[in-house]
Chain A
Amino acid sequence: MEALNVVVNVAFVLEKQSFINLRLSAVPDSDPFTMPLFEGLSAGSEKSAVILDIGAAYSKVGFAGEFGPWAFVSSKVKLSKTKKEVFVWDYSSEEELFDILVEFFHLLYFKHLLVNPKDRRVVFCESILCPTQFRETVAKVLFKHYEVPSILFAPSHLLAMFTLGINTGLVLDAGFSETTVLPIYEGIPIIKGVQTVTVAAREIHRNLAALLQDQAVLITDGEEAPLASKMSSLPDTVIEDIKVRTCFVTNINRARLIQQSILQNDESKWPAVPSSVEYPLDGGSKLVVTGKVREVACEVLFEQDMEEKSVATTILDAILQCPLDMRIPLAQNLVLMGGTSMLPGFAHRLVDELKELLSKPQYKDRLAISSFKVHSPPSEANYTAWLGGSLFGAMEILSYRSLSREAYNQAGKVPDWCSLDDAVQEAEVVPKERSSMKQLEALRKLSLEKSSAGASPTPK
């Protein structure tokens, strides 16, 4: 019993020490020369967590407490079995996804992060609408195959709030495959208000490819020919590059004029066309990307589809789903993130569109909002969620909030907001509680043995 008491004391002292470590490591790693000192002092403390954000097009990876991802990796991997390069999100079955993720995480850990997966906790940034199958498989791969100590599945929209130090806001994430809007009020995501449209970078690419195929001219050795006659399609990477380097989101006035011009088939209404660009393709030929194409390619974001949905309407619809009291604060705290929101002119056009939509009949009488305010996170929009993960992962409380490997092995699945199973909430605490219970049992036995030898005090 004496020995056990000592154990308790030692554990207590160790915990006290970790407080000190926390203080020290609270000083961010600004100066590379003082860092080794800190590392030496806090040798007992944990290694910084790995922050993973697996996007549809690009994945962002790095470590907690860092201010930018260490690597931006295309989310595809060459499978050793089939020797084919596949996108991570391009899977047909869980087994296939498992194989893809095993190889993809291997690439991330051993080519980019260069750390042992076993040593570090993981913060996994995910969309709130991430398919259960995907996150379950991620957990399976990380826990079973890579044996990571714990994973925190963090909704990317909430993480974006971390980069701003606010807890109320309307977060728009315009990524590759879809645009998702989530209202967050006082730190609570309002799931009812989630709005999503499948209009994002992929749709722009599709539109741009169609426009080019339809209109573009290819110059080979001084001879001009329509692109369609030479090539049936341009590679995705070329389309992406043309979008990034030449396209922009035009302002709302010009967009209206262009719309009219197309509708009335009247060329003269088209505003002064921006300059065209000769884009060099492999093989010495040049593709002429006209000013019209450059300007119109990104218009898909704001064109309303059959259900009258566009990137702009998702924001208003999300606000409409929220209680009255929340609406103005939400409109005053817009946060834009995702690579697509980095298109030149995107934010300005979005705000203009929102203002115009307010005067439209479907919103006019239902929303009393007059202005919108946009936050600017301390990051580029394409890694805002990652940065939030990094800030969160740097906190010492990460272990309390994460799903530990033991808890996962016991429960066999990942707790989720959409499942009402008795989720393993504070995962880390559960096994510890148990062990102290065991300790108590052992103590009781021990003392009973002792007491049975001498005078027996009866426990009441």
Chain B
Amino acid sequence: MASLLQFEKVLMKCSCDIKSPIINLYFCKHCLKLRCGRCVSHEVDSYSCPNCLENMPSAEAKLKKNRCANCLDCPSCNHSLTTRATSVALTDSQSPDKKMTKKVYYLACGLCRWTSRDIGLGDKETASGGWEEHDNPHFERLNELLEFYHQLAIKEKNEREQKKFNKRRTYLRLQEKYFSPGGLATRRKASFLNALSSMAPKTDEPEITPVKLIEPKEEVDPLPSKYYTQPLVLEKVTTLAQRLNRPEFASSQVEGLYPRHKHLVIKRSQRCRECEHNLSKPEYNPSSIKFKIQLVALHHIPDVRIYLVPKLYQAKESIVTILLSNPSQEKMETELEAINEPPSTGLLTVPEGLLVLAAKDITAEFDEKTADTSEFKDNPEKKSSETSQGHIQFRSGHKLGVLFKVTPQTSDSDVVVCFKLKYKYHNTSPSLRTPVEDEEKPDAVWLEHEVEINLGATSP
């Protein structure tokens, strides 16, 4: 019940001791551990434009500053801009009587009605635009500075290299002197190095041309008098967000707002930090929502859900139905063990002994009331008589309703119970096991995870 919308009610502890809902967890098949978003390493997988869904290789994305070449954003409200076509009447200069119409394009925002005509951008004759790009106003000065610092960097690097090299050379000489019985080859090599070393400082030490200094000014521009005298038209002044969109060209007037290329989005892949295997890898195609690799916990470990919670009273035992479901295609043996320690705020008694979850049969989901259910009907009877007497509420397909006895110990906060979920995990993909491991490692291993369930508040 509490799964789709209230997934934070049932939490599981992952390998980094953070409790998260099962839908946020990965299950590493290789280390057999639960991983959350914090204990996997994220990687950028592929770049694409969220508007035109075009893929972009990473080198190109860097080149274009993570922006799409074709799609533009509204400078005013950040909505995507659309290209509009319109026809303008042109008068031929040679024969003024003749009227010609021409198709032209401009950009418009469907949300805030901003158009490229507002800022005086001329209409374009092609739909794809070719809109003017701006260079940083200080471009040349910054290039000069960059060049200057590169010279300094080269100098420093050379000095360091020189030091390192000298050390190495002395060590080579020592080595030659003491350790080698005078091999010709080593001597030749050393002399070769010598030659290079004498060349290095001369060729690699260019003269440093100091960068031109821009003199500081004594006179600072005063505030224009229009601030005191002219009325302020608020609509003409840009907001801070609009200015920060393009920090290098920040304009305080709306006339200075130029459209901005759309920022790309990425697909991420997740990798286990311990074994470095991929836990999730999306498909390359930006419009695909599928994954190449997807080791989400939901597909591998039994799911725990709250099925039915009666009214809970402090210090009074109630019976809560919890649903366990088996995601795997094989029968799964589970065992539960209550943890009656903080943060748990209720005394929990769980069914003892082995609980067997039936294999998940995908076809059974579609025809539930067929022979399949009848086959399972005798199953719980047998189980209840054998092992967990009266602890099983119902069984349907791969799901099992289990009865928990909860005695709330609190009246003012939510009742939280914790237990250990132990289960026998069958490694279903044989490719993961190397032949050597096969002998040592059995097909199935017992795994356990801590589960915390929030059952809600007690009734007064």
Q: Do A and B bind each other?
A: yes
Binding site for B on A (CB under 8 A): 1-2, 5, 8-9, 12, 15, 19, 22-23, 26, 28, 30, 32, 35-36, 39, 58, 60, 63, 65-70, 72, 80, 102, 106, 110, 112-116, 118, 145, 147, 162-166, 240-241, 244-246, 248-251, 254, 271-272, 274-275, 277-280, 294, 332-334, 344-345, 347-349, 351, 371-376, 378-380, 382-383, 387, 391-392, 394-397, 400, 436, 440, 443-444, 447, 450-451, 454-455, 457, 459-460
Partner of A395, one of B65, B153, B210, B228: B153
Q: Is B156 in contact with A397, judged by CB distance below 8 angstroms? A: yes
B136, CB-defined interface residue at 8 Å:
yes
Q: Tell whether B179 is near chain A: CB-to-CB under 8 Å.
A: yes
In the complex, what residues of B have CB within 8 A of residue A447's CB? 175, 178-180
Most buried by A among B149, B160, B212: B149
Q: B153 and A165: CB pair below 8 A?
A: no
Asked if A8 and B239 make an inter-chain contact with CB atoms under 8 angstroms apart, the answer reads no
**Chain A residues near B211 (CB, 8 Å)?**
165
Q: A68 near B248 (CB under 8 angstroms)?
A: yes
Report the minimum CB–CB distance from A382 to chain B (whole Å). Answer: 7
Q: Is residue B38 contacting chain A, with contact meaning CB distance below 8 A?
A: yes
Interface size class of B (residues with CB under 8 A): 35 or more
Contacts of A280 in B (CB 8 A): 234
The 5 closest A-B pairs by CB, nearest first: A378-B138, A345-B223, A373-B216, A447-B179, A68-B248
Give 14 A-B contacts (CB < 8 Å), ordered by A residue. Answer: A8-B172, A35-B63, A72-B247, A162-B145, A165-B148, A165-B213, A241-B240, A246-B232, A376-B214, A394-B146, A400-B156, A436-B167, A447-B180, A457-B181
Does A15 lie within 8 Å of B161, measured CB to CB? Answer: yes
Q: Which residue of B lies closest to A333 (CB)?
A: B216
Residues from chain A with Cβ under 8 Å of B179 in the complex:
1, 443-444, 447, 450-451, 457, 459
A145–B214 CA distance with the chains assembled, in angstroms: 43
Number of A-B residue pairs with CB-CB distance less than 8 Å in the complex they form: 217
Q: Is B309 interfacial (CB-CB < 8 Å)?
A: no
Instruction: Give the contacting residue for A5; candidates B136, B145, B154, B189; CB below 8 A.
Output: B189
Provide the bound-state CA to CA distance between A153 and B378, in Å.
Answer: 69
Whether B84 is near chain A, meaning CB under 8 Å from some CB there, is no
Q: How far is the CB of A32 from chain B (nearest CB, A)?
A: 6
Measured CB to CB, the closest approach of chain A to B332, in angstroms, equals 30
Selected from A164, A396, A444, the residue in CB contact (under 8 A) with B153 is A396
Instruction: Evaluate contact between A147 and B41: CB separation under 8 angstroms.
Output: yes
| Given known A30-B143, A165-B145, A444-B179, contact A244–B240 (CB-CB < 8 A) | yes
Q: How far is the CB of B453 from chain A (nearest CB, A)?
A: 18
B44 within 8 A of partner (CB): yes
Given known pairs A241-B239, A275-B231, A376-B217, the reply for A22 and B66 (CB within 8 Å) is no
Q: Kindly provide the distance from the CB of B240 to the nearest chain A CB, expressed in whole angstroms.
A: 5
CA distance A274 to B232 in the complex (A): 9
Given contacts A5-B189, A9-B189, A68-B136, A443 and B175 within 8 Å (CB-CB): yes
Contact between A116 and B44 (Cβ–Cβ < 8 Å)? yes
Tell me the complex Cα distance, A275–B204, Å.
63
Q: What are the residues of chain A within 8 A of B175 when measuring CB–CB?
A: 443, 447
Q: Mark B211-249, 1 if CB is under 8 A from A, else 0.
A: 111111110111100011111101001111001110110
List residues of B whose CB falls within 8 A of some A CB: 37-38, 41-44, 47, 59, 61-66, 136, 138-139, 141-143, 145-150, 152-154, 156-157, 160-161, 165, 167-168, 171-172, 175, 178-181, 185-186, 189, 193, 196, 204, 210-218, 220-223, 227-232, 234, 237-240, 243-245, 247-248, 250, 252, 263-264, 266, 268
Chain A residue with minimal CB distance to B189?
A5
Chain A residues closer than 8 Å to B245, beta-carbon distance: 72
Are A383 and B266 in contact (CB-based, < 8 A)?
no
Which of A114, A164, A371, A460 is within 8 Å of B61, CB to CB?
A: A114
A384 to B21, CA, bound (A): 43
With contact pairs A36-B63, A375-B214, A397-B157 given, residues A380 and B247 touching in the complex (Cβ less than 8 Å): yes
User: Chain A residues near B180 (CB, 8 Å)?
Assistant: 1, 447
Query: In the complex, which residues of chain B have a beta carbon less than 8 angstroms from the beta carbon of A69?
Result: 247
**A251, B145: Cβ atoms closer than 8 Å:** no
Give the residues in chain B near A395, CB-CB below 8 Å. Answer: 149-150, 152-153
A70 touches B66 (CB 8 A): yes
Flag if A272 contacts B157 (CB, 8 Å). Answer: no
Q: Which residue of B has the minimal Cβ distance to A396?
A: B153
Partner of A344, one of B148, B157, B227: B227
Chain A residues positioned under 8 Å from B62 (CB to CB): 63, 115
Question: Which listed residue (A112, A279, A375, A380) contacts B248, Cβ 8 A?
Answer: A380
CB-based contact B220/A5 at 8 Å: no
User: How many Å lie between the Cα of A379 and that of B47 in the bound state?
Assistant: 30
CA distance A8 to B176 in the complex (A): 14
Contacts A70-B65, A396-B150 given; 4 further ones with Cβ under 8 A? A114-B47, A344-B223, A344-B252, A400-B157
Give the complex CA separation of A345 and B225 in angstroms: 11
Pair B149/A22 contact, Cβ less than 8 Å: no
CA A175 – CA B268 in complex, angstroms?
34
Residues of B within 8 A of A240 (CB): 240
Tell me if B59 and A39 are in contact (CB < 8 A). Answer: yes
What is the minimal beta-carbon distance from A178 to any residue of chain B, in angstroms?
Answer: 20
Instruction: Name B229's contact: one of A39, A274, A349 (CB within 8 Å).
Output: A274
Instruction: Determine how close the nearest CB of chain A comes to the CB of B40; give it in whole angstroms.
Output: 11
**A8 x B168 contact (CB < 8 A):** yes
Q: Which residue of B is nearest A401, CB measured?
A: B156
Q: Of the candidates A32, A251, A333, which one forms a contact with B63 in the assembled complex, judged by CB atoms under 8 Å apart? A: A32
Report the Cα distance A361→B44, complex, angstroms: 61
Determine if A248 and B149 form an interchain contact, defined as CB atoms under 8 angstroms apart.
Answer: no
Question: Are B189 and A114 neighbours in the complex by a CB distance under 8 Å?
Answer: no
CB distance from B206 to the nearest CB of A (A): 10
**CB neighbours of B228 from chain A (8 A):** 250, 254, 271-272, 274
With CB as the reference atom, state the residue of chain A lying closest to B210: A165
Task: Note all chain A residues with C-beta closer than 8 A to B44.
Answer: 110, 114-116
Q: How far is the CB of B167 from chain A (nearest CB, A)?
A: 8
Complex Cα distance, B288 from A23, in Å, reads 43
A212 to B247, CA, bound (A): 29
CA distance A383 to B264 in the complex (A): 23
Q: A32-B63, A115-B44, A397-B156 are in contact. Are A380 and B250 (CB under 8 A)?
A: yes
The answer to whether B222 and A345 have CB atoms under 8 Å apart is yes
B258 to chain A, nearest CB (A): 14
Are A22 and B154 within 8 A (Cβ)?
Answer: yes
Are A400 and B160 in touch, CB under 8 angstroms? yes
- Known: A5-B186, A347-B220, A392-B149. Is A67-B41 also a contact (CB below 8 A)? no
Q: In the assembled complex, which residues on chain B have CB atoms less than 8 Å from the CB atom of A102?
A: 38
Residues of B within 8 Å of A115, CB to CB, are 44, 62
Chain B nearest CB from A281 CB (Å) reads: 12
The answer for the CA separation of A65 and B358 in the assembled complex, in Å, is: 60
Give Cα A58–Cα B241 distance, bound, in whole angstroms. Answer: 11
